[in-house]
Amino acid sequence: MKKKFTYDYPRPAVTVDVVIVTREKKPRVLLIRRKHKPFAGMWAIPGGFVDMEETLEAAARRELFEETGVRTSRLQQLHTFGDPGRDPRGRTISVVYLASVDPRKLKPVAADDAAEVAWHDLRHPPALAFDHADILACARRRLREKM
């Protein structure tokens, strides 16, 4: 039996990612080491799936806090990434947020899906999971435009 308001076409999953960049002469980005498949052991931008009852920004703040213990006052929507093959688990669209922070005011701690959390050079990050290298390239372009 068909559920009310169910559509006949497939629906993608929606995720959020949060690029946290330091306000320093040589900016760094906060990355997590993934605890689970896919890409277990690789570095990634903090993020995860959006719950049905939450806004995109609320999901971004929740995922950032759950994985890193970090809270930030200002998030700016950076871009939406939706290439069909970006996630091996299935069709996933990610709304990405960007925040600039003073790293002296933060004490990141790995939790939830993160095995580790660390600051990395924004211009020369390690190999990244998913399409996160493309996401960081987009963030670098946005930051250059602001300068």
Mean pLDDT of 128-146: 96
Is 116 tagged catalytic?
yes
Question: Cα angle vertex 14, ends 99, 97, to 5°?
Answer: 10
The band of 1, judged by pLDDT with boundaries at 50, 70 and 90, is low
> What are the start-end ranges of the E strands in 27-113?
28-34, 43-44, 47-49, 76-81, 92-101
Residue of 24, 53, 57, 116 with catalytic role: 116
pLDDT digits (tens, 9 = 90+) for 73-105: 999 999 999 999 999 999 999 999 999 999 999
Percent helix, strand and coil across the chain, each to the nearest 5:
20, 30, 45
